[in-house]
Amino acid sequence: MTLPVSLRVVNEGLAFVLELLALGALAWWGWQSTGEIWRILPAVAAPAAAALLWGMFAAPRARFKVSAPTVLVVKAVVFGSATAALWVVRGQVWAVVFALVILANTALLTMDRSATARRAA
């Protein structure tokens, strides 16, 4: 299934916003996870680890080219961690809504990119 160009642009933009929100949720969780001065460590380390993992394997210009299933596993780890973090700091409703939007967005992206790659081959 190939998306119309306008919907593809919106969906790609949404994917970027979701990635930023995932990093924000991890930072928020890190900040809330402990008290005093030490809260800065998980608040920086959690999103930094997620960004590093994403940049190495899941980004469009990832350092290492891996198969599509591996990219989906990396996305599941990062977005799953962010959803769990959101569940802890904000509650079930926000986490479920976030997860559902991620699932719909990722499904559309995967189908569109697969169709585009097949057509180009």
Q: Look at the chain and count its residues.
A: 121
Q: Is a pLDDT exceeding 80 seen at residue 33?
A: yes
Query: What pLDDT, on a 0 to 100 scale, did the predictor assign at position 121?
Result: 72
Backbone angles phi, psi at 74, to 5 degrees: -60, -45
Q: Is a pLDDT exceeding 80 seen at residue 61?
A: yes
pLDDT tens sequence across 67-109: 989 999 999 999 999 999 999 999 999 999 999 999 999 999 9
Residue 36: HSE in the Cβ half-sphere, 13 Å Cα cutoff: 1
pTM of the model: 0.91
